[in-house]
Structure 1
């Protein structure tokens, strides 16, 4: 693992003020360097549908309704790639900044409706599966979507007409993030209330999700939201070392001081939950959902460099692994 570097005091006099953070002592992760650099010729498709669960401030897609601007997808190209490999893929949208509980309830309702209205079995499996077989899903969640999914499994799944076979989280802040701690510590309660009022005035409803990413909140969340023994839990994290002009540099700097390596928003330590499958090197929080990565990947190819990470290969690998495990 790359050594932690001391940070300099550049973000204001209170940057390094002690925060109420939780000490995380987890296993030393495997660093993934080039495992997902290129696409393989063949990937297996999971037996059960794959559900892509977005993070904080996320969405399914945004249509500008302007001919000069494209439709923006949260999972840029990922859904199409998985479907091309034979997977059944479901994308949903939950309230962008609402509480984990509200987001999970919306996710549960959407999946209930989707699985009722559309076939849930792969065409290749219909002949061998009995009609009475209860549907299952594989949840693949980015960032806060992993917390929504864990809440759904623990608190809602017993009343749903489907089961969760597996949950794979990608850069989910399972133990919170010191950047959220720092933001709320700097703002203070009065300014937080004012900010929430402004957001609600602008049409942003129930912005409780921000505060639920603090280490204090997630410590209590983890006590009451335990794993289901009938569900397989997997997780990935990422680490990135940005230049000073990178959009993630301020948040990365704070997290690097308090928690160590991160992808700019979520530390490697906080991303570990269930079976931790490794830390993707040189990859930031948006690279993981094929946003900035698409630009960088094409630039590398034009300049003759070999990219170290292809988000499409990463998600195809996840699904291939689920298929091989019988999910």
Structure 2
């Protein structure tokens, strides 16, 4: 077995909104954790509240990190967060940098999501449309809870409003004022590589005609959803993955921000039905090698 991904510290995978570890036999990190393990890495996928604020999710993550350190004997962990999982990981690193060796944001809304802004404007929480959307999200969460075979901990709290507000531009701006570690000083730039002993990295994708609308994505309903969601973007119109803007995703060292991947392709969903030329698993394996080379 190769040891190219055998990092010094365990890789902890943190899911985004409505995230999970495994639904029956379907993994959130489809094929990714297995590929990293085959290449020598210690990989742990964690569960936090599927619908809640980044701070609440971050506190849950900190508790899980402490368990992982006790279980593995490791001194620190490498956090890899997808979507809101990136904000969750950033919070944990800001609060306890002594426990975190690195934070990697994968399609993280590090400056907010224009989709969340659109929903905030057109589906306010106190409106009929807002209440219907909240009901729909609760229903999805309940069904996922019934199908969940990857989490055996205590029931996690849900706050749909707090979760949504945590992803708006205004909500993330407040978050960034409190936890600025790794953020670029200029829009579209790189952030500091290291803050308080924690390394920061990011990568993301964009919808690209001829690539992300071809290949196996033709059979993928989530890609069609991302294309619909992308129509709500104004500042980063044509420069988003359907849910997060290209430049909004920047954090620390930007490995890449225009891979031919929609917001779900980037973690190899759905069931690996990704677009033409997309290799999301390779990005994770390469990044594990990058962390290993950095002594992490």
Give TM-score, length-normalised by structure 1.
0.71
Q: 1:284 to 1:48 in 2, by over 3 A?
A: same
How has the CA–CA distance of structure 1 residues 115 and 238 changed in structure 2, closer, same or farther, with 3 Å as cutoff?
same
2:247–2:257 contact (8 Å) kept in structure 1:
no
The CA RMSD over aligned residues, in Å, is 2.5
Picking from 46, 62, 82, the partner of 1:92 is 46
Return closer, same or farther for 1:78/1:141 CA change in 2, 3 Å cut-off.
Answer: same
Q: Work out whether 1:206 is the aligned partner of 2:146.
A: no
CA distance in 2, matches of 1:296, 1:151: 30
Which residues of 2 match residues 264-303 of structure 1 at below 5 A? 264-292=242-270, 294-296=272-274
* 2:203–2:255 CA contact under 8 A, matched in 1: yes
Question: What's the CA shift string for 1:99-139, capped at 9, x where partnerless?
Answer: 111111111112212321x2245xxxxxxxxxxxxx01111
Unaligned runs of 5+ in 1: 1-40, 64-70, 122-134, 298-306
Matched, 1:115 2:69: yes
Unaligned runs of 5+ in 2: 143-156, 182-194
Distance (whole Å) between structure 1 residues aligned to residue 254 and residue 111 of structure 2: 14
The Cα of 1:43 is off from its aligned counterpart by 2.7
Count of aligned pairs between the two proteins = 252
Question: How far is the alpha carbon of 1:293 from its aligned partner?
Answer: 7.0
Larger radius of gyration: 1
Runs of 4+ in 1 over 6 A off after TM superposition: none
Instruction: Give 3-state SS (helix, strand or coil) of 1:294's partner.
Output: coil
Name the stretch that deviates more: 101-110 or 204-213: 204-213
Quick one: which of 110, 114, 122 aligns to 1:174? Answer: 110
- Structure 1 residues 197 and 176: alpha-carbon distance in aligned structure 2, compared to 1, 3 A threshold: closer
Q: Which residue of 2 aligns with 1:221?
A: 175
Equivalent residue, structure 1, for 2:31: 77
Please list the CA deviations of residues 250-308 of structure 1 after superposition, one character each: whole Å capped at 9, or x if unmatched: 211222x32230111111011001111112432111111111372347xxxxxxxxx52
1:199–1:246 CA distance, 2 compared to 1 (3 A) = closer
How many angstroms does 1:80 deviate by? 1.1
Relative to structure 1, the CA distance from residue 182 to residue 77 in structure 2 (aligned partners, 3 Å threshold; closer, same or farther) is same
